[in-house]
Structure 1
Amino acid sequence: MSVENLAETFVELADTLVADFDPVEFMHLLANRCVDTLGVDAAGILLVDHFGELQVVGASSDRARLLELFELQHRQGPCMECYLTSRPVTVTGFTEPPQRWPEFSSVAAAAGFGAVHALPMRLREQTIGALNLFTVGEDALSETRVRVARAMADVATIGLLQAQVISHRDLLADQLQHALHSRVLIEQAKGVLAERLQVDMSAAFHTLRQYSRNNRLHLSKVAEDVIAGTIDMTALTSARS
């Protein structure tokens, strides 16, 4: 675990401000970086979706992905408990009875793993998933590697939540811009109608709105057609009655 490798890892995990940020690719990057940086044999990431259900969103190998899927299907295991309790869970020696999760332990041992180290992906009181590290050996990770793994999980969590906030903010900005643009179009269309129909602005707006409702069209679309002169004026004026 070199200083250069560690520094590069954290720079990559912190870089979530790019315009084409892809959360799925980011999770695969995290899983692969865990293997390279921490010296584990595989890594997987579980994240909670909008419905409150955990999903496998990244894995460094098919073995790790299938083991994570098995755990989700059976709704029990160390990784799921880690998410539910927001606390680290370590299980070593899958072949040594008694086992708390015998089915998971059996599948994990069959996949060639000897231990799993699950760390919550958490920021303050919000837990969004779990980072799961698998090793062939049955020993627990050293305290140093655990601290680095926790830091990686924390940085990834902050990055994901930050990207979510930015995405939400951009969506709101787009919606606001659309609303402002629509308002300008409607005002222009009111002026056009008021002049053509020789009515006041209130009556012109009533005509626009009634036509849009009758034809199940967005008001901004009707306004665009009025400004462009492509609307059927006979149908439009009949909406006034």
Structure 2
Amino acid sequence: MTSINNNKVGLISLLKKSAAITICSALVACAGNPYVRNAERNDVITLGDSIFDLSGELQQFLEGPDMANTTFRDYTLSGAKLTGGIVSKPVVEQYQDAQTDDSNINIIVMDGGGNDILLPAMIFDPYECKTTWYRSELSEKCTSLVDDVYVDTVSLLNQMKQNEVQQVIYLGYYYTTGEKTDLHQAIDYGDERLADACDNTTVSCQFIDPRSAINSNDVLPDNIHPNTSGSQKLAQLIWPYLETVL
């Protein structure tokens, strides 16, 4: 019996690892950059996923001479969900790590929640977040998933207020391109709920909607991640709000 149980545990572990590898391969998003735990402005941090972390260019533009001309702590990780997950440390834990390193955090630039929807949709789509010829509207399972992300987002933002964070700048998600246009309705609803989270939290929160700014020319061939022009455009959307609070 012990041998059978051990075999089951080993099989489950193997399946989890295989799933993680499959997800990474599908999204080309498990590369990226390590934490930057010390910077010129330690009171400013970034949290999030591969939109920031895969190339690192978005943060480089924000820190560059045409914008902030200083550096921020960076806790973004490719493949990160808002909560949970087996690919990367989630955004809620990134924030905990940043607090542990230096709790004097005044400004947070972040994204989060996209992979909570995208990762399952890209592999098996158990929540039916993709629209199809036979399902032209977003499924109730998908809207429920997004609503759960909303609840987790508000909880995280409220925690930031309790920790005396002064300003959160929350970057939403642009449309996936190419063969991944079947996720557009999920992205629409996701951005709507992330904007609601910013409105309904206790911390000062500015939501940035990038959907009208980013087009297929700004996205890598994987149809998900920003190329250099995309990262620059995202930085240009963020900068007017960041500039006023630095």
TM bucket (normalised to shorter chain) is under 0.3
**Whose helix proportion is higher, 1 or 2?**
1
Structure showing greater Rg: 1
Give the TM-score normalised by structure 2.
0.26
| Structure with bigger RCO (C-alpha 8 Å, 6+ apart) | 2
TM-score w.r.t. the length of structure 1 is 0.26
